[in-house]
């Protein structure tokens, strides 16, 4: 470790950083779920991170050993973190500690750090356990391929969210998912750009909705499915999700749809599997409070 150094990255290092992150993140034992898989998307993410001073690299002379990259949500004082380290080139725990502490000491002491990665990345588990990070419920990453889906759009009046329901949507979303990574305002800001909201409204009341996010790689994400508490258990969640699936495949020509679900949400998991989703990875989630 004598020749090891850590520094914030510049645009001049972008190509080298992209190649390193692409190779590491496509190896499940070293990958991070917050990081994209395609080289083009990774390059764009790193470029944005460099402009925000949120990308560090650990170097052994001119060779990259590890990269730390995060997305900061200032409103929630949270950073979603990617930690990509090649343990063949240096001790994982030592490199991870150098990267994380360098970033942590130069940012808000109250910042919360969230790590989300496949369970096969046992070296990241070991590091986070060693610094007493708080382990959360495991989450499943599910994928639905076009030929596998079993969804049938039910005969309910599901439509794109009307503009006069934007305020009620934000209120319902933020009450169901307080503190979630994407707020109701975030969804509305991107609506009909890369996010689409499908709603079920009865007697002027928004009772259920789903949020579709289109990704750069031609896939889509069923980002959110929610039902107002007093209307649950009536099939409304299945209806708005089925509508989202049908729209993603027929209107947007998505090649696949993915979603994330907590491992302890058995009812939701059963619904998704019934609709044809398959488990792609099981992810671990850790949080470090400032």
Q: pLDDT digits over 26-42, tens only?
A: 999 999 999 999 999 99
- Rounded Cα distance between 17 and 21, Å, is 6
Which pLDDT value is given to residue 251? 96
Tokens of 213: 């996010």
Q: Distances from the Cα of 159 to the Cαs of 6, 16, 155, 187, 239, in angstroms?
A: 51, 46, 12, 16, 11
Say whether pLDDT at 154 is over 90.
no
4-132: what fold?
Aminopeptidase (3.40.630)
If you average pLDDT over residues 33-56, what whole number do you get? 95
Tokens of 24: 């590491």
185: left (phi over 0), alpha (psi -120 to 50) or beta: alpha
If you average pLDDT over residues 138-159, what whole number do you get? 82
Say whether pLDDT at 283 is over 70.
yes
Least confident of 144-153, 160-169, 193-202, 260-269: 144-153
CB burial class (10 A; 0-12, 13-18, 19+) of residue 46? Answer: buried
In whole angstroms, how large is the CA radius of gyration of the chain? 20
Which pLDDT value is given to residue 245? 95
Say whether pLDDT at 126 is over 90.
yes
If you average pLDDT over residues 5-34, what whole number do you get? 97
DSSP string, 110-139: T-EEEEEEETT-HHHHHHHHHTTPEE---E
4-132 shares its CATH topology with 142-283? yes
pTM equals 0.79
Say whether pLDDT at 1 is over 60.
no
Reported in sequence order, the residue ranges of the chain that DSSP labels E, i.e. its strands, are 4-8, 55-60, 63-73, 78-85, 112-118, 134-135, 139-145, 158-160, 195-202, 205-214, 220-227, 256-262, 278-288
The answer to whether 209 and 200 have CB atoms below 8 angstroms apart is yes
If you average pLDDT over residues 69-73, what whole number do you get? 94
179 compared with 252, residue with greater pLDDT: 252
The confidence band for 181, taking pLDDT boundaries of 50, 70 and 90, is confident
> Sign of torsion, CA 187 188 189 193?
positive
Which residues have C-beta within 8 Å of that of residue 257, sequence separation ≥ 6?
143, 144, 149, 219, 220, 221, 222, 244, 245, 248, 249, 277
The answer to whether 90 and 58 have CB atoms below 8 angstroms apart is yes
- Rounded Cα distance between 181 and 151, Å, is 27
Q: What tens digit of pLDDT does each residue of 225-236 get?
A: 999 999 999 999
If you average pLDDT over residues 75-97, what whole number do you get? 94
The CATH number of the domain covering residues in 142-283: 3.40.630.30
Which pLDDT value is given to residue 49? 97
How large a percentage of the chain has pLDDT more than 90?
Answer: 87
Which pLDDT value is given to residue 2? 58
- Rounded Cα distance between 267 and 270, Å, is 5
The confidence band for 153, taking pLDDT boundaries of 50, 70 and 90, is low
Q: Where are the domains of the chain?
A: 4-132, 142-283
The confidence band for 147, taking pLDDT boundaries of 50, 70 and 90, is confident
């Amino acid at each position: 470790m004598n020749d090891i150094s850590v520094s914030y990255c510049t645009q001049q290092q972008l190509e080298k950083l992209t190649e390193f992150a692409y190779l590491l993140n496509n190896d499940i034992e070293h990958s991070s779920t917050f990081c994209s898989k395609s080289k083009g998307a990774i390059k764009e993410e790193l470029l944005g991170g460099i402009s925000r001073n949120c990308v560090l690299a650990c170097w052994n002379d001119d060779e990259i050993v590890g990269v730390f990259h995060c997305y900061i949500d200032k409103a929630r004082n949270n950073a979603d973190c990617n930690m990509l380290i090649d343990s063949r080139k240096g001790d994982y725990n030592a490199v991870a500690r150098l990267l994380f502490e360098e970033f942590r000491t130069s940012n808000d002491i109250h910042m919360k750090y969230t790590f989300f990665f496949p369970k096969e990345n046992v070296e990241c588990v070991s590091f986070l356990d060693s610094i007493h990070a708080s382990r959360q419920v495991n989450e499943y990453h599910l994928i639905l391929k076009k030929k596998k889906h079993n969804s049938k759009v039910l005969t309910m009046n599901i439509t794109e969210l009307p503009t006069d329901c934007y305020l009620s949507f934000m209120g319902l979303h933020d009450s169901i998912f307080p503190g979630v990574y994407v707020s109701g305002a975030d969804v509305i800001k991107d609506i009909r750009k890369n996010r689409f909201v499908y709603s079920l409204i009865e007697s002027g009341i928004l009772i259920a909705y789903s949020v579709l996010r289109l990704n750069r790689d031609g896939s889509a994400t069923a980002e959110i499915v929610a039902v107002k508490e007093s209307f649950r258990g009536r099939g409304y969640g299945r209806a708005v999700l089925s509508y989202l699936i049908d729209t993603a495949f027929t209107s947007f020509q998505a090649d696949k749809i993915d979603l994330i679900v907590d491992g302890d949400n058995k009812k939701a998991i059963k619904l998704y599997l019934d609709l044809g989703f398959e488990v792609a990875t099981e992810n671990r989630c850790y949080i470090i409070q400032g």
